[in-house]
């Protein structure tokens, strides 16, 4: 006869509610670890997907995700002539917020150097990748956009031609992919009044210098399109993505490019470390602290629950002692109940998590190593929590039954 199972059957309702409460608490602990793993995965997701060997950014910046980076678009052509470089593409990344169907819509825009990069590497779950140079957009399904929807950005209207799955930025915003030219048009879009004021200011600056007084006809150029003024330079991008030829050392190629005075170069691993040690480091520490606190709270709650359950059975324990039951029988009664509470609570946490976690606003990623570690922690907590109840049971006086 197993005393632990007999006692559980006798108090099945209370035991079930207790196991459910512990399971909910452990689910939160499990969720904290999953949110951290999801944060790390989101931070490095786009770097892994792009698969570039080298990231060429503005000098002394940590771009394009950890910090703003601005470099001329023709830098991609410069990088292409470096020995060992196989491909060289421009890339843009920035975040926008618009109103769509009366609700706020945040998108992290990724500009692809079409047609060299049409987004064939994207995990398309519906529709297709980019098929033309303008007015097409591929969005993540977390944005609630659908294939065929129209979205006004800047002065143009874009058609959603494809949807991706689980492509979000480190801040949790849905990613959207368009051609590099369209991304620049959206990024540097200004209202007509802003453009008029800027052009007027250019003309005024021209007449304030000697050149404008000598050649007043230049005012027509100064008040015209930016593209008609060579001094304003070429359009800017965030980064140049470089892939290295097979057999070449990426570090050696990076050293050649980094010799240029206007750029910094990071390898794929270096770009990931910038994100992990900078962008998500504080969030990682905060989530880790909450996780430790929740584990401590779980241990305290389980200890108090087992102590209370032991107090309720003091009369029965004293009776067992009076009829000559060994201490190991009483110890097994409490220890088995503690292990059952921990095991059932862990199973409830996992099953509820599989159902609830997909509805979280941030991605929750459960990996086997974290689950195994948590299972061991729960086992240790169950054993330690039972010690308080065992201590109280061992002090039970058999004479109390006779009195």
Residue ranges of domains in the chain: 3-42+281-402, 60-188+235-261, 193-232
Specify the length of the chain in residues: 403
Local structure of 124: helix, strand or coil = strand
Helix (H, G, I), strand (E, B) or coil at 147: coil
Q: Is the pLDDT of residue 375 over 70?
A: yes
Cα atoms in the Cβ-side hemisphere of radius 13 Å centred on 382: 24
Q: What is the pLDDT of residues 313-332, one digit of tens each?
A: 666 666 666 666 676 666 77
Question: pLDDT tier at 177 (50, 70, 90 boundaries)?
Answer: very high
Q: What is the mean pLDDT of residues 73-99?
A: 88
Section 105-109 average pLDDT: 90
**Of the ranges 28-42, 209-223, 240-254, 382-396, which one carries the lowest mean pLDDT score?**
209-223
Find tokens 């987004």 and name the residue: 119
Percent of the chain topping pLDDT 90:
9
- The reported pLDDT for the residue numbered 338 is 80
The rounded distance, in Å, linking the Cα atoms of 91 and 76 is 10
Q: Quick one: which of 49, 92, 47 has its CA closest to 273?
A: 47
The three-state secondary structure class of 287 is: helix
CA distance 258 to 81: 14
Q: What is the pLDDT, as a whole number, of residue 224?
A: 54
pLDDT band at 305 (very low <50, low <70, confident <90, very high): confident
- Per-residue model confidence (pLDDT) at position 1: 45
Task: Read off the pLDDT of each residue in 27-39 and give the average, rounded to a whole number.
Answer: 85
pLDDT in tens, 146-158: 998 999 888 889 9
Which of these, 69, 17, 27, lies nearest to 266 by C-alpha position?
A: 69
Each residue of 122-138: pLDDT tens digit?
Answer: 888 888 999 888 899 99
136-140 and 156-164 strand pairing = parallel
Higher pLDDT, 57 or 391: 57
- Calculate what percentage of the chain has a pLDDT beyond 70: 78
Q: Is the pLDDT of residue 265 over 60?
A: yes
CA 186: distance to chain centroid?
25
Q: Give me the DSSP letters along 243-255.
A: EEPTTS-HHHHHH
For residue 364, pLDDT beyond 50: yes
Lowest-confidence range among 52-61, 296-305, 336-345?
A: 296-305
Q: Residue 199 corresponds to which tokens in the numbers above?
A: 């052009």
């Amino acid at each position: 006869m197993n005393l632990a199972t007999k006692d559980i059957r006798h108090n099945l309702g209370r035991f079930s509610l207790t196991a459910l409460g512990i399971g909910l608490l452990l689910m939160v602990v499990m969720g904290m670890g999953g949110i951290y793993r999801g944060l790390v995965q989101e931070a490095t997701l786009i770097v892994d997907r792009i698969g570039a060997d080298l990231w060429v950014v503005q000098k002394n910046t940590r771009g394009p995700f950890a910090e703003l980076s601005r470099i001329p678009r023709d830098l991609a052509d410069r990088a292409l002539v470096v020995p060992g470089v196989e491909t060289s593409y421009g890339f843009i990344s920035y975040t926008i917020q618009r109103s769509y169907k009366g609700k706020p819509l945040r998108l992290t825009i990724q500009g692809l150097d079409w047609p060299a990069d049409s987004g064939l590497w994207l995990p398309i779950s519906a529709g297709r990748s980019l098929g033309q140079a303008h007015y097409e957009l591929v969005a993540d399904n977390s944005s609630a956009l659908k294939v065929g929807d129209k979205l006004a950005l800047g002065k143009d209207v874009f058609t959603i031609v494809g949807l991706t799955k689980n492509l979000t930025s480190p801040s949790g915003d849905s990613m959207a992919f368009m051609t590099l030219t369209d991304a620049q048009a959206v990024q540097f879009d200004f209202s007509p009044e802003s453009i008029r004021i800027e052009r007027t200011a250019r003309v005024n600056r021209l007449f304030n210098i000697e050149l404008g007084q000598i050649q007043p006809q230049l005012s027509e150029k100064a008040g015209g399109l930016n593209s008609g003024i060579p001094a304003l330079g070429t359009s800017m991008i965030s980064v140049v993505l470089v892939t290295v030829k097979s057999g070449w050392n990426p570090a050696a190629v990076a050293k050649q490019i980094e010799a240029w005075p206007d750029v910094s170069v990071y390898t794929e691993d270096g770009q990931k470390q910038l994100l992990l040690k900078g962008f998500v480091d504080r969030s990682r520490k905060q989530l880790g602290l909450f996780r430790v606190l929740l584990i401590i709270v779980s241990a305290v709650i389980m200890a108090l629950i087992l102590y209370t359950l032991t107090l309720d059975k003091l009369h029965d324990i004293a009776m067992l002692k009076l009829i000559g039951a060994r201490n190991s029988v009483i110890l097994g009664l409490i220890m088995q109940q503690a292990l059952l509470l921990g095991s059932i609570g862990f199973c409830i946490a996992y099953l509820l998590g599989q159902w609830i976690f997909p509805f979280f606003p941030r991605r929750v990623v459960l990996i086997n190593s974290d689950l195994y570690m948590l299972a061991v922690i729960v086992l240790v907590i169950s054993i330690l929590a039972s010690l308080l109840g065992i201590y109280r049971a061992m002090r039970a006086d058999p004479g109390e039954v006779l009195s």
